[in-house]
Amino acid sequence: MKVKVFIQRLRETRILDLEENGKIEDLLKTLRISVSEVIPVKNGVIVTEKEPLGEGDEIKLLSVVSGG
């Protein structure tokens, strides 16, 4: 299945072809991004890494910013 992924820290959009029944965590493994580094947004809604992916989903991986 194909999903569109915007990676905020790289400021780039990619179209990825992933296995059916994949989840956000599988996408992150493919991109070699740690779950603790990003906030996943699927089709405009914040989700967890356990969220299933579907054909044509649009995913944004927003960078986690911390500090004090």
Query: For residue range 8-42, what is the model confidence (pLDDT) as tens digits?
Result: 999 999 999 988 999 999 999 999 999 999 999 99
pTM of the model: 0.90
pLDDT at site 66: 77
The vertex-53 CA angle with 12 and 11, nearest 5°, equals 10
Tell me the residue type at 2: K
Domains and CATH numbers, the chain: 2-63 (3.10.20.30)
